[in-house]
């Protein structure tokens, strides 16, 4: 992709200099050498900053596949300092990480379902859905950085864009260069290598200690998480050196969670839970919040920047984490958690019903199969995600599925008697 596309407002000479930096100065070995310098991760500078009451810059910093179990399993100095000096949302629930590559969803998006949900604040994605950057563009500068091309469908309404397959350090350096030169009000950074390491753990066929165990000794997932922590330390230090950190709020989170056995299969509950760390200007200190939902990210970003959320957004501001948030917060509804539990229950009951039907020789078999088909069509799981917009709210969707599960339970009781 040409540098004029990535950094449209830079003069030609500046783009040339930036290109040299990104192609020569970002050599992976050099960056890793810098990070390996004694005391790098333990540097206290960014954590001594006195933050402004309200942020002028907000950064959504995504570590692909960040498990909510990380804090009990690993020592990540930078992230743990951010947690102690900010707010930790222990469990952020999200829709299953289904990634349709055909059909109406694929016509809208090139990435897995949680990513557009994160940036729109709604479970109901259609051609009319509005996304967070739309309310900033064009009056306030914004930037999009991803060291991969999977997320290209989300790269709209940004002034600056960096999309290039490569290692996480290159993405971090590109983000720092944009922040240094252009000081965008909002930046979305997505680093992929932690998630890619998790997929390697699931798919490897060799009998290594970490095969299908992301937490095992020598695990690439653990190695990449530790490097992601170091890279975040570098990112914060450079923001501080450029005078940006005191006026910046960060949300660090996963785009999805991760299964202990690797990757993020949509059937695995752990893959549908990640954490959020809020830290910096306008954020409270030393607070833990047990629950949030992926749709809450957009209204929280909007509250930090004092702008209206998209019209189609249905999330709830994580107002408990914001120092100056004064509006009344609606009661927390754990609707996504309920939906995920419904999906799991339906899969189990559906499988049992199919098994019992296959064993039957009853004269009622035709009626039973027809009834089973009707019951299946009344439940809306993740495979029917594109049909979810027929409901107005997540609560209405969950209520429908509750009724469908009740009917399936009665159907199973009848089958068990035959």
CA dist., res. 405 & res. 400, Å (int): 9
**Could you tell me whether strands 160-163 and 142-146 are parallel, antiparallel, or unpaired per DSSP bridges?**
parallel
**Could you tell me whether strands 273-280 and 248-253 are parallel, antiparallel, or unpaired per DSSP bridges?**
antiparallel
Length, in residues, of the chain: 418
pLDDT band (50, 70, 90) for residue 29:
very low
- Ranges of H-type helices in 131-219: 168-182, 193-203
Question: Average pLDDT, whole number, for the chain?
Answer: 91
224 or 28: whose pLDDT is higher? 224
- The CA distances from residue 32 to 77, 146, 169, in Å, are 17, 19, 8
- Is the separation of the CB atoms in 116 and 100 below 8 Å? no
pLDDT digits (tens, 9 = 90+) for 351-386: 999 999 999 988 899 999 999 999 999 999 999 999
Q: Is the pLDDT of residue 400 over 80?
A: yes
Exposure string (b/e) for 176-204, b if CB count within 10 Å is 16 or more? bbbbeebbbbbbbbbbbbbbbbbbbbbee
Look at residue 45 in the predicted model and tell me its pLDDT.
86
90 — phi, psi (to 5°)? -60, -45
Q: 98, exposed or middle or buried, with CB in 10 Å at 0-12, 13-18, 19+?
A: middle
- Is the separation of the CB atoms in 195 and 214 below 8 Å? no
Q: Is the pLDDT of residue 293 over 90?
A: yes
- The CA distances from residue 306 to 43, 55, 241, 299, 393, in Å, are 32, 10, 26, 10, 25
Q: CA 199, 203, 204, 208 torsion: positive or negative?
A: positive
CA dist., res. 49 & res. 368, Å (int): 67
**Extents of the domains making up the chain:** 41-321, 335-417
6 — phi, psi (to 5°)? -70, -40
pLDDT digits (tens, 9 = 90+) for 169-198: 999 999 999 999 999 999 999 999 999 999
Look at residue 164 in the predicted model and tell me its pLDDT.
95
Look at residue 26 in the predicted model and tell me its pLDDT.
40
40: its two tokens: 């790098």
- Only one residue has tokens 């006195």, namely 50
Q: In the chain, what percentage of residues exceed pLDDT 70?
A: 89
Q: What is the rounded average pLDDT of the residues 265-287?
A: 97
- Is the separation of the CB atoms in 66 and 253 below 8 Å? yes
Q: In the β-sheet with 160-163, what is the strand arrangement from edge to edge?
A: 160-163, 142-146, 186-191, 57-63, 248-253, 273-280, 87-93, 287-293
CA dist., res. 310 & res. 301, Å (int): 11
Q: What is the rounded average pLDDT of the residues 21-30?
A: 39
Q: 286, exposed or middle or buried, with CB in 10 Å at 0-12, 13-18, 19+?
A: exposed
Look at residue 378 in the predicted model and tell me its pLDDT.
98
Q: What is the rounded average pLDDT of the residues 163-174?
A: 97
pLDDT digits (tens, 9 = 90+) for 236-264: 999 999 999 999 999 999 999 999 999 99
Residue 280 forms beta bridges with which residues? 249
CA dist., res. 328 & res. 335, Å (int): 20
Look at residue 21 in the predicted model and tell me its pLDDT.
39
Q: In the chain, what percentage of residues exceed pLDDT 90?
A: 88
pTM beyond 0.85 = yes
Q: Is 163 helix (H, G, I), strand (E, B) or coil?
A: strand
380 — phi, psi (to 5°)? -115, 95
Look at residue 44 in the predicted model and tell me its pLDDT.
54
284: its two tokens: 């409270």
Q: What is the rounded average pLDDT of the residues 294-309?
A: 97
347 or 9: whose pLDDT is higher? 347
**Could you tell me whether strands 273-280 and 87-93 are parallel, antiparallel, or unpaired per DSSP bridges?**
antiparallel
- The CA distances from residue 14 to 4, 7, 18, 177, 182, in Å, are 10, 9, 6, 11, 12
Look at residue 51 in the predicted model and tell me its pLDDT.
98
334: its two tokens: 């754990």
- According to CATH, the superfamily of the domain at 41-321 is Alkaline Phosphatase, subunit A (3.40.720.10)
Look at residue 28 in the predicted model and tell me its pLDDT.
38
CA dist., res. 11 & res. 169, Å (int): 25
């Amino acid at each position: 992709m040409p540098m004029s596309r990535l950094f449209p407002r830079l003069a030609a000479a500046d783009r040339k200099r930036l290109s040299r930096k990104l192609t020569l100065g970002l050599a992976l070995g050099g960056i890793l050498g810098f990070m390996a310098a004694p005391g790098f991760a333990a540097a206290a500078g960014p954590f001594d900053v006195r933050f402004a009451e309200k942020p002028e810059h907000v950064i959504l910093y995504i570590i692909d596949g960040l498990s909510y179990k990380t804090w009990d399993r690993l020592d990540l100095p930078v992230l743990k300092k951010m947690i102690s000096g900010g707010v930790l949302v222990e469990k952020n629930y999200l829709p299953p990480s289904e990634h349709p590559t055909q059909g109406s969803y694929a016509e809208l998006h090139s990435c897995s379902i949680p990513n557009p949900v994160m940036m729109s604040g709604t479970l109901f994605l259609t051609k009319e859905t509005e996304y967070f950057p739309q309310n900033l563009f064009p009056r306030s500068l914004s930037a999009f950085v991803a060291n991969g091309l999977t997320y290209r469908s989300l790269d709209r309404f940004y002034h600056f864009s960096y999309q290039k397959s490569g290692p996480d350090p290159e993405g971090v350096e590109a983000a720092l260069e944009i922040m240094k030169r252009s000081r965008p009000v909002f930046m979305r950074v997505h680093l992929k290598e932690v998630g890619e390491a998790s997929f390697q753990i699931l798919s490897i066929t060799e009998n290594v200690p970490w095969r299908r165990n992301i937490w095992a000794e020598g695990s690439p997932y653990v190695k990449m998480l530790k490097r992601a922590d170091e890279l975040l330390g570098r990112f914060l230090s450079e923001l501080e050196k450029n005078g940006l950190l005191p006026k910046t709020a960060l949300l660090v989170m996963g785009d999805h969670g991760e299964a202990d056995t690797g990757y993020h299969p949509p059937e695995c509950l752990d893959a549908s839970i990640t954490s959020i760390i809020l830290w910096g200007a306008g954020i409270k200190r030393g607070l833990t919040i047990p629950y949030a939902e992926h749709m809450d990210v957009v209204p929280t970003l909007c509250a930090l920047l004092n702008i209206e959320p998209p019209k189609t957004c249905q999330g709830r501001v994580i107002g408990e984490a914001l120092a100056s948030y004064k509006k009344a917060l609606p009661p927390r509804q754990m609707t996504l958690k309920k939906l995920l539990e419904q999906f799991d229950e339906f899969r189990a009951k559906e499988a049992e019903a199919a098994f019992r039907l296959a064993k039957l020789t009853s004269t009622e078999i035709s009626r039973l199969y027809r009834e089973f088909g009707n019951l299946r069509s009344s439940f809306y799981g993740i495979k029917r995600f594109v049909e979810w917009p027929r409901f107005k709210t997540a609560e209405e969707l969950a209520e429908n599925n509750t009724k469908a599960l009740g009917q399936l339970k009665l159907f199973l009781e009848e089958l068990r008697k035959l």
